[in-house]
Amino acid sequence: MTSEKGITPRATDFSAWYNDVIMRAELADYSPVRGCMVIRPWGYRIWELMQRALDDKFKETGHENAYFPLLIPQSFLAKEAEHVEGFAPETAVVTHGGGKLLEEPLVIRPTSETIIYSMLAKWIQSYRDLPVLLNQWANIVRWELRTRLFLRTTEFLWQEGHTAHATAPEAEAETLLILGLYREFMEQWVAMPVLTGVKTDAERFAGAVRTYGCEGLMQDNKALQAGTSHFLGQNFARAFDVQFQTADGGMDYVWSTSWGVSTRLIGGLVMTHSDDVGLVCPPQLAPYQVVLVPIWKSDAERQATMEVAQRVRLDLQRVGVRAHVDGREGMKPGAKYYEWEGRGVPLRLEVGPRDVAKDQAMAARRTGGKAPLGLGDATTTVPQLLAEIQADLLSRARERREAHSVRGVTKDELIARMEAEAGFAYAGFCGDGACEQAIKERTKATVRVLPDPEFRSPEAPTRCVWCDRPALAEAVWARAY
Amino acid sequence: MTSEKGITPRATDFSAWYNDVIMRAELADYSPVRGCMVIRPWGYRIWELMQRALDDKFKETGHENAYFPLLIPQSFLAKEAEHVEGFAPETAVVTHGGGKLLEEPLVIRPTSETIIYSMLAKWIQSYRDLPVLLNQWANIVRWELRTRLFLRTTEFLWQEGHTAHATAPEAEAETLLILGLYREFMEQWVAMPVLTGVKTDAERFAGAVRTYGCEGLMQDNKALQAGTSHFLGQNFARAFDVQFQTADGGMDYVWSTSWGVSTRLIGGLVMTHSDDVGLVCPPQLAPYQVVLVPIWKSDAERQATMEVAQRVRLDLQRVGVRAHVDGREGMKPGAKYYEWEGRGVPLRLEVGPRDVAKDQAMAARRTGGKAPLGLGDATTTVPQLLAEIQADLLSRARERREAHSVRGVTKDELIARMEAEAGFAYAGFCGDGACEQAIKERTKATVRVLPDPEFRSPEAPTRCVWCDRPALAEAVWARAY
């Protein structure tokens, strides 16, 4: 049952629009549990398609899935100094089990480094046991004060990769391999272009040596951190005493990485593409890529149009297209169009009695445009059309991002920009956390990344945008989710 | 790194054997958290294969996946009287979040009926919204005192189906549809034959009207409840006020079902097939179905045997066989055989220099038997061989079960049987919980099911095995996990 309530236009209230789109598409719903949401079948199907694509990439690059306990002894968190400081304030704590007070409280995992390293200490003895390339699909709890569907919820679903290596360069290479793989997924599946680069200390994962991130730009010109990949150095190995015998007979701590993306990606998908009618879902992640709507008045027409619709559905499914026939009785075609548009289905094929005679359908793209489509070669043209829609979404999003990116700003421009339209602002950065903090206080903008070479400005900035001291690197500022 | 420790023989100590098999195959490991285990990659891959097969079956029959919160307000459990009695003593309770004492404690889901019905009350208004056919893949926590890897752990992974229907017969039909689907999966994938039937009140799910179960018989002749499907009547609908407008304009509560299988199935797989050498994994669920071991002395031999092994692997993968080449250097073939046998790989293909010349391999089945296999038509013969191994495992297990089943026992025979070899004992049952309780106290055996027609004895028993009053039904007793 789709909500009949209208969608607040983006221009009126972006945040209300976002919630309305999610409700109309039935991606998720609020639960009676503070800060926790229910992911409804349409939203969960998108997550499953994301999982499948990412999981294939992880397995192709030699990673294996495993599963570690949900509950972690509270003392484990404290073993890595930065880690406990970062996560302890956000934990949900189990104090009672089976009717009794526990001797040591357990926290629900806010991330699994600690429990995983306690096991790696047992499993890794020699360089022959390395690398260990693990991934886990799991639920996570972080006690958030302000929650928003998909973007920030007390419980969320994610994958967390954890790898251990014999050398620092190997671990660094893994961190970057995953960063590239995330970017490829975000661009090719979510059709969400992302900036990649390294994070400043202020935005670094608690316990990491270096954090790399993927940053998308949403339609309200705020940045979304869509995935992170951390080089952990030997921090967790030392904290949990994960040592191994090296090839030349010595002992060393393993070098490690961790990396994750979450159901937050669905929020990114919504805010990158959707419009005032509802969800726009990229074909690669659409639960139904094509919905066929037969149109009839008489029984004979019903039979004829249904027959064609079902035949085309089967043909399309045979070539791997997720096609669906909406043959519901007692519902007008217009109501069906409205529903599937709200749910973001990329392509609708309307099959009326006259279309049957001409062996065609009226093809309506969710992103605009309506034209007859011959059904004889639908198994060729429909996949092409879907690929075209997918590519268009990415290039549109990229154009939008570039239109809202500005390079080489001055201090005054940075302030004015963040107060007006926001977006990405590129400028020099001295690397001093004090400047970063001052900019944040003045503009609410943070350094999203020190961008990777391909995103950097042709001319490297030489001075810090804030203090005018020499720039250590170029940085990208934005207000962020 | 596979443990070098020997495996305790089944005959010496079945329980130690079970743990040893799991450790040697690296299916799982003990964690530092009381009662919680780590599922290692080899075990998790088996779970993923189980998930894929079951999930396909659920989707084919119209079910959709969704995700509901991990944490449930403690008061929700209390809304269904039997439910709270059954589950409250087993819960893990979160009392603190974000550093503060919670106003109402939250329990970690021991099962999700309550949170799901609180949402269904919001989503279901009319008969047009029915049926609702949901499934969730999730982690569950039940505070168990005595835990065993896979069989009974404080946290476990499972799927839980939850459906709501307009009529009782529809809900009943759903309960049985799933029971049949579970049985098919257990027989065709796990190669574990199961008895199906209805549970007695003593073994019924807390809150259900009727519980149906699938019961396997392990190699120690103890029964394993491998899956259950519950007809919930209107119990949860009443507790959470899930009403709908009927087609004729009245109001009624929905009729509902729930059903689940868990990582316990992996324990069933282990105890049904494995031997004193290690795991025996049915081909349908084997992470690698075939391992190719090239055998060489010289570099030239290494190149030749590796080339053949890789070619055959690619050929097999092309026809959907999960094949792997073990080309590790510095490890003798015998050590490789030992490792893959312990991991339960169904078929090993040894490729030596002389085999290369003859375009053949030595094919060794995990379940016994070694013979040359021509490589020219491996893409035909290997899948056939795997299907044969799969079928053999099922029929062996079925024969073993029948050899340890006895029908029409008297009271004394029931007692003697349960004290000696255990197994399944069929006899008449008056239906009185007092008899059931007395039998349990005397023999440690419980009624596993009142078996479905196809499992019943040709001649229906007329008297209760314990009290000699008229039998209400035939029942199957066993000691159970």
A208-267: per-residue pLDDT in tens?
999 999 999 999 999 999 999 999 999 999 999 999 999 999 999 999 999 999 999 999
Q: In A125-222, where do the E strands start and end?
A: 132-141, 155-165, 195-198, 210-217
**Residue A288: band (very low, low, confident or very high) from pLDDT cuts 50, 70, 90:** very high
- pLDDT exceeds cutoff 80 at A29: yes
A381 to each of A274, A283, A307, A387, how far by Cα in Å?
A: 25, 14, 20, 10
Please say if the pLDDT value at position A3 is more than 90: no
Q: What is the pTM of this model?
A: 0.97
Name the region of A13 (left: φ>0; alpha: ψ -120 to 50; beta: rest). Answer: beta
Give the strand pairing for A132-141 and A251-253. Answer: unpaired
- Which among A29, A95, A125 has CB closest to B119? A29
Chain A closest-CA separation from residue B328 CA (Å): 11
Our CA-based measurement puts residue A101 at a distance from the nearest CA of chain B, in whole angstroms, of 10
| Environment class of A4 (CB within 10 Å of its CB; exposed 0-12, middle 13-18, buried 19+) | exposed
Query: Which pair of tokens denotes residue B33?
Result: 């958290």
Q: Note whether A14-273 and A288-385 share their fold.
A: no
**CB-based contacts of A60, cutoff 8 Å, min separation 6:** none
Q: Percent of chain B beyond pLDDT 70?
A: 99
pLDDT value at residue A84: 86
Task: Report CB contact under 8 Å: B141, A95.
Answer: no
Q: Tokens in use for A262?
A: 């979450």
Instruction: Convert A93-120 to b/e letters by CB count within 10 Å (16 or more is b).
Output: bbbbbbeeebeebbbbbbbbbbbbbbbb
Asked if residue A456 has pLDDT above 60, the reply is yes
- CATH tag, B288-383: 3.40.50.800
Q: Which residue in A71, A90, A95 is closest to B36 by CB distance?
A: A71
Say whether B91 and A97 touch across the interface (CB within 8 A). Answer: yes
pLDDT computed for residue A4 by the predictor: 54
Q: Does domain A288-385 fall into CATH 3.30.70.1290?
A: no
Q: Are A228 and A320 in contact (CB under 8 A)?
A: no
Nearest to A420 by CA among A446, A453, A391, A445: A445
Phi first, then psi: what are they for B296, rounded to 5°? -145, 160
Taking only the tens place, the pLDDT of each residue in A95-137 is 999 999 999 999 999 999 999 999 999 999 999 999 999 999 9
Contact B31 A129 (CB under 8 A): no
H helices of A373-432, where?
A: 378-403, 411-419
CB contact under 8 A, B119 and A89: no
Position A326, amino acid: D
Structure tokens at B465: 């095995």
Chain B residues with CB-CB distance to A86 below 8 A: none
pLDDT score at B3 = 44
Contacts of B40 in chain A (CB under 8 A): 66
Quick check: B89 and A99 CB within 8 A?
A: yes
| Total residues found in chain A within this entry | 481
Q: Are A321 and A290 in contact (CB under 8 A)?
A: yes
Residues of A within 8 A of B65 (CB-CB) are 41, 44-45, 48
Percentages (nearest 5) of helix, strand, coil residues in chain B: 40, 30, 35
What ipTM did this prediction achieve? 0.96
CA distances B182 to A120, A238, A428, B179, B216, Å, are 36, 46, 62, 5, 12
Instruction: Enumerate the β-bridge partners of residue B323.
Output: B290
Q: What is the pLDDT, as a whole number, of residue A191?
A: 98
- pLDDT above 50 for A334: yes
Backbone angles phi, psi at B232, to 5 degrees: -95, 0
The kind and range of the H/E element at B202 are none
Q: Where are the domains of chain A?
A: 14-273, 288-385, 406-478
Which residue, among B349, B353, B375, has the nearest Cα to B362 in the 3D structure?
A: B349
Contact check, Cβ <8 Å, A45/B64 = yes
pLDDT, one tens digit per residue, over B144-155 is 889 999 999 999
A318-331 confidence digits (pLDDT tens)? 999 999 999 999 99
Chain mean position to CA B16: 20
Is it true that domain A406-478 has CATH number 3.30.110.30? yes
Measured between CB atoms, which of A41, A67, A97 is closest to B143? Answer: A97
Q: Do A97 and B92 touch (CB under 8 A)?
A: yes
Contacts of A36 in chain B (CB under 8 A): 69-71
Contact status, residue A220 vs residue A271, Cβ threshold 8 Å = yes
DSSP sequence for B297-359: SSHHHHHHHHHHHHHHHHHHHHTT--EEE---TT--HHHHHHHHHHTT-SEEEEE-HHHHHHT
Q: Residue A293 above 60 pLDDT?
A: yes
d(CA A294, CA A301): 9
Structure tokens at B371: 């013979």
Q: Is the pLDDT of residue A1 over 90?
A: no
pLDDT-derived band of residue A185, with 50, 70 and 90 as boundaries? very high
What per-residue confidence (pLDDT) applies to A347?
98
Helix (H) or strand (E) run with residue B149 in it = none
Burial class (CB in 10 A: 0-12, 13-18, 19+), B178: buried
> Which of B70, B76, B118 faces A155 most closely, judged by CB atoms?
B70
DSSP state of B431: -
User: Domain B14-273 belongs to what architecture?
Assistant: 2-Layer Sandwich (3.30)
Which parts of chain B sit beneath pLDDT 70? Answer: 1-5
Q: What CA–CA distance (Å, rounded) separates A410 from A390?
A: 37
Determine the distance in angstroms separating the CA of B392 from the nearest CA of chain A, rounded to an integer.
Answer: 30
Q: Is the pLDDT of residue A181 over 50?
A: yes
Rounded to the nearest integer, the mean pLDDT of chain A is 96
Residue B41 and residue A71: Cβ atoms within 8 Å? no
- DSSP-derived 3-state class of residue A209: coil
Going from the C-alpha of B216 to that of each of B210, B404, B481, the distances in angstroms are 20, 12, 10
Q: What is the mean pLDDT of residues A38-43?
A: 98
Cβ contact, residue pair A141, B71, below 8 Å? yes
Average pLDDT over residues A66-75: 96
